[in-house]
Amino acid sequence: MTHSKGFRCKTRMVFARAFRQHGVPAPSINLVQYKRGDYVDILVNGAIHKGMPHRYYHGKTGKVFNVNPHSIGVEFNKKVGPRFVKKYIHVRVEHIRPSASNAAHIGRVKVNDEQTKLYKAGKSEWKCLKRIPEQPLAAQILIKPTVVDIAPFLTRELSSDQILVLCYLYTLYFVFIANNKCYLQNRIFCIIYCKYILSHTNGRRRRLLQLLCFYGLHIKPAYTQSHLL
């Protein structure tokens, strides 16, 4: 096999130029001014073979530490095992671009300085300069409150004799007529209904309702299965 471990190995697709982007780059690339401390991105241009960095640095962001007539010195933090090692390389201007990774920080610094000056001058109140994560939504009223008049309960308009007749008929219904599916819910409703009426009666009628509640608790149809109770 041929030797395939050179300095520019495995770069056939990495350094390839895009469609209709071949040839000498525009001269405007050489007119960009770089200063020490600026952040730059390494984007290798395959058309310029001089000053081409290793493929490891393609797409990395570094800090300018030296400026020469034809090349720029860039400082990187390369991770080697569990630690970071400082790396210093020189690349030509055609292979670097100004980085926008620090633009948001610079903008925040300017805004914070302006707010601090306004606060010291007494023209505005103090505002928190820290970045706060998005907070949960505040309490909101989805439906406007409305006043609703509750209708009176039907049994309040009936006499005590009519209430006894209704309780007795409903008890007979759930004991002898109700089917297996609705037997349990009918029994529960009858017990609640009779207990409510007990609080509105006295004497002989109260004793009769207690018997109805007793039958509602213990009597069940002969055709009702035990597992349905």
> Is 95 inside any structural domain?
yes
Average pLDDT over residues 177-206: 54
- Which domain-ending residue is among 83, 100, 117? 100
Average pLDDT over residues 165-184: 57
> Is 149 inside any structural domain?
no
Q: Is the pLDDT of residue 30 over 50?
A: yes
| Digit-coded pLDDT (tens) for 32-41 | 999 999 999 9
> Is 58 inside any structural domain?
yes
The pLDDT, as a whole number, for residue 143 is 80
> Is 38 inside any structural domain?
yes
> Is 5 inside any structural domain?
no
Range of the domain at 37: 27-100
The pLDDT, as a whole number, for residue 223 is 38
Per DSSP, the residues of 143-159 read S-----PPPPPGGGGS-
> Is 3 inside any structural domain?
no
- Which domain-ending residue is among 62, 77, 100? 100
CATH number at residue 80: 2.30.30.70
Number of domains comprising the chain: 2
H runs (alpha helix) in the chain:
103-120, 160-172, 183-198, 204-218
Q: Which residues 6+ apart lie within 8 Å of 171 measured at CB?
A: 190, 194, 212, 215, 216
| Digit-coded pLDDT (tens) for 95-144 | 999 999 999 999 999 999 999 999 999 888 888 899 999 999 988 877 87
Average pLDDT over residues 201-226: 50
> Is 175 inside any structural domain?
yes
